[in-house]
Structure 1
């Protein structure tokens, strides 16, 4: 069944950085998406309240997101993100979307950008160790929202909602 995915857009320099890490560490056969921050994993496609609400959520200034560390579990490695503004935005979105949230999407957001997945636990542990040794906290800028259509495979981009600078 098709699903609507909502992601957070990030600045071009950060996008290039994380895309390069995915290109280097993600198995090529499974790396058919750019690096991304998923806000909602599975919303109904045919629900107009969701698409109608997104322009209002984009009426805000771009936000600074702290990249705070490297996460690892099983066969994946990700950069952990932290932002009170992002948490509040997500909470507001959850309130509007509440009738359609899956259990996963109803949880508190743990924002991250995955740079390796679908590998052995040993390989993920090695990359995690390497990235932790090199890690220096930094910041990126969130620049908008993006909706995607998921139909088991590559995602199809639907709409982009840039954050306005005057909010």
Structure 2
């Protein structure tokens, strides 16, 4: 990778929700060792595996050379109160499963940031639609269907709190923290 790493922007959730989503992701996301990824112990005393934490991606690939501009915009947008986010359901992704989220404040915040970042948006970031947390991906459709059925049967809607925005360097697999912008 030449030049500055692409930037990822995420929504940060309250610690309790983050922990719960991390545990789901750790239980169901396939282990794929990535150089530099955070190593965490697997269950059952197995050798450790490499995983990203659960996350709500708002932007997948902003240009790293605009780190100062992106950071400035995120700091400005973060000057607001935390807000509620509804956990609304389980979504089948074909080769994985996600948990859907909904919040008018999140939609407005993301729309405003998209306007500010418009010249730099990739096609993927222009097509952003529903916020979600991916708990399983890159598995066979049968494995994904089984988890979707299991999670759907026990799903209970809830409300979690958005506490800020995270900024990350994308290092070709692993992510490295580049900034955190807490809501006031």
Scaled by the length of structure 2, the TM-score of the pair is: 0.86
Choose from 131, 135, 138 the match for 1:118.
138
Choose from 23, 28, 33 the match for 2:52.
33
1:9 aligns with 2:12: yes
Q: Whole-Å Cα distance in 2 between the matches of residues 44 and 73 of structure 1?
A: 27
- The Cα of 1:43 is off from its aligned counterpart by 0.2
- The Cα of 1:50 is off from its aligned counterpart by 1.5
Q: Whole-Å Cα distance in 1 between the matches of residues 88 and 160 of structure 2?
A: 11
1:56 corresponds in structure 2 to 76
- The Cα of 1:109 is off from its aligned counterpart by 3.1
Work out whether residues 39 and 109 of structure 1, in 8 Å CA contact, stay in contact via their aligned partners in 2. Answer: no
- The Cα of 1:153 is off from its aligned counterpart by 1.6
Q: Whole-Å Cα distance in 1 between the matches of residues 179 and 71 of structure 2?
A: 9
2:47 corresponds in structure 1 to none
Number of paired residues?
164
1:163 corresponds in structure 2 to 183
Work out whether residues 26 and 51 of structure 2, in 8 Å CA contact, stay in contact via their aligned partners in 1. Answer: no
RMSD of aligned C-alpha atoms? 1.1
Structure 2: stretches of 5+ with no match in the other structure: 34-49
- The Cα of 1:28 is off from its aligned counterpart by 2.2
Q: Whole-Å Cα distance in 1 between the matches of residues 128 and 59 of structure 2?
A: 11
- The Cα of 1:108 is off from its aligned counterpart by 4.2
- The Cα of 1:104 is off from its aligned counterpart by 1.3
Scaled by the length of structure 1, the TM-score of the pair is: 0.94
Q: What stretches of structure 1 move > 2 A for 4+ residues in a row?
A: 28-31
Q: Whole-Å Cα distance in 2 between the matches of residues 19 and 108 of structure 1?
A: 22
Give the stretch that moved more between structures: 101-110 or 116-125. Answer: 101-110
Q: Whole-Å Cα distance in 1 between the matches of residues 26 and 121 of structure 2?
A: 31
Work out whether residues 82 and 164 of structure 2, in 8 Å CA contact, stay in contact via their aligned partners in 1. Answer: yes
1:129 corresponds in structure 2 to 149
- The Cα of 1:27 is off from its aligned counterpart by 1.2
